[in-house]
Structure 1
Amino acid sequence: MIIVEEVQNETQKKEFLEFPARLYQQDQNYIRPRNIDIEDVFNSKKNKLFNGGECSRFLFKNAHNKTVGKVAVFINETYQQKQPTGGFGFFDCINDQETANFIFDHCKNWLQLRGMEAMDGPINFGERDKFWGLVIEGFAEPLFGMNYNFPYYKELFENYGFKIYFEQLCFSRPIFAEVSRVFTVMHAKHKQNPDISARPMTKTHLEKFAKDFTEVYNKAWAAHGEGKCLDETKTLKMFKMMKPIINEHISWFVYENEKPIAMWMNLPDTNQWFKYLNGKFGIWEKLKFLWIKRFKKNEKMIGIVFGVIPEWQRKGIEGYMIWEGTQHLRKHTDFKVTEMQWIGDFNPKMIKIAENLDTTVTRKLATYRYFFDRNREFERHPIL
Structure 2
Amino acid sequence: MLKVVPVTGAKEKREFLDFPAHLYKDDPQYIRPLDKDVEEVFDPLTNKLFASGKCERFLFRNSNDETVGRVAVFVNPKYENEQPTGGLGFFDSINSQETADFIFDHCRKWLTERGMEAMDGSINFGERDKFWGVLTDGFTEPLYGMNYNAPYYSTLFENYGFKIYYNQLCYSRPVHGEVSRVFRILHSKHSRNPAITARPLKKNTLEKFAADFTEVYNRAWASHGDGKVLEYKKTLEMFKSMKPVINEHISWFVYENEKPIAVWMNIPDMNQWFKYLNGKFGLFEKIKFLWFKRFRKNTKMVGIVFGVVPEWQRTGIDGYMIWEGTQHLRTHTDFETTELQWIGDFNPKMIKIAEALDTVVTRKLATYRFLFDSEKQFKTHPIL
Interval of TM-score (by shorter of Structure 1 and Structure 2): over 0.9
Query: Which secondary structure state, in structure 2, belongs to the residue aligned with residue 248 of structure 1?
Result: coil
Matched, 1:212 2:174: no
Q: Residue in 2 aligned with 1:8? A: 8
Q: How many residues align?
A: 384
Distance of 1:301 and 1:179 partners within structure 2: 17
Partner of residue 25, structure 2: 25
Partner of 1:242: 242
For residue 38 of structure 1, what is the aligned residue in structure 2? 38
Taking the TM superposition and a 5 Å limit, the aligned residue runs for 1:81-230 are 81-230=81-230
Equivalents in 1 of 2:299, 2:278: separation in Å? 20
**CA distance in 1 between partners of 2:69 and 2:125 (Å):** 19
Aligned to 1:339: 339
Matched residue SS, 1:177: coil
Partner Cα distance (1:188, 1:168) in 2? 35
SS of corresponding position for 1:370 = strand
For structure 2, list consecutive stretches of 5 or more residues without a partner in the other structure: none
Q: Which amino acid aligns with 1:137?
A: D
What letter matches 2:41 in structure 1? V
What is the CA deviation profile of residues 103-136 of structure 1, one whole-angstrom value per residue up to 9, with x for unaligned ones? 0000000000000000000000000000000000
Per the TM alignment, residue 366 of structure 1 is displaced from its structure 2 partner at its CA by 0.4
1:278 match: secondary structure: coil
How far does the alpha carbon of each residue in 1:20-71 deviate from its partner, in whole angstroms, 9 at most, with x for none? 0000010000000000000000000000000000000000000000000000
- Post-superposition shift, 1:212? 0.2
Question: Segments of 4+ in structure 1 off by > 2 A?
Answer: none
Post-superposition CA distance 1:181-216 (Å, at most 9, x none): 110000000000000000000100100000000000
Inter-partner Cα distance in structure 1 for 2:283 and 2:359? 39
CA distance in 2, matches of 1:205, 1:76: 37
| Per-residue deviation, 1:87 | 0.3
Secondary structure class of the residue paired with 2:106? helix
Which residue matches 2:269? 269
Q: Partner letter of residue 226 of structure 1? A: D
Offset at residue 176 of structure 1 (A): 0.3
Letter in 2 for 1:15: E
SS in structure 1 at match of 2:373: coil
C-alpha distance in 2 between matches for 1:175 and 1:47: 36
Aligned mates of 2:97, 2:138 — CA distance in 1: 23
Determine the structure 2 residue equivalent to 1:72.
72
Structure 2 Cα separation of the partners of residues 311 and 129 of structure 1 = 28
Query: What is the CA deviation profile of residues 125-177 of structure 1, one whole-angstrom value per residue up to 9, with x for unaligned ones?
Result: 00000000000000010000000000000100000000000000000000000
Give the TM-score, by structure 1 length: 1.00
Deviation at 1:247, TM superposition (A): 0.2
**Aligned counterparts of 1:132 and 1:20: Cα–Cα separation in 2:** 16
2:59 alignment counterpart: 59
Equivalent-residue separation in structure 2 for 1:374 and 1:95 (angstroms):
26
Q: Secondary structure at the match of 1:358?
A: coil
Give 1:293-304 correspondences, 5 Å limit. Answer: 293-304=293-304
Give the alignment's Cα RMSD to 1 decimal: 0.3
Task: Give the aligned residue type for 2:363.
Answer: R
CA distance in 2, matches of 1:109, 1:330: 53
The reply on whether 1:373 has 2:344 as its aligned counterpart is: no
- Paired AA for residue 323 in structure 1: W
Paired residue type of 1:163 = K
Instruction: Provide TM-score, normalisation by structure 2.
Output: 1.00
The aligned residue for residue 322 of structure 2 is: 322
Shift of 1:375: 1.2
**Sequence identity percentage:** 70
Aligned equivalents of 1:61 and 1:340: distance in 2?
38
TM-superposed deviation, 1:356: 0.3
Which residue in the other structure is 1:361 paired with?
361
Q: SS of the residue aligned with 1:365?
A: strand
CA distance in 2, matches of 1:355, 1:19: 38
Q: Structure 2 CA distance, aligned partners of 1:112 and 1:26?
A: 37
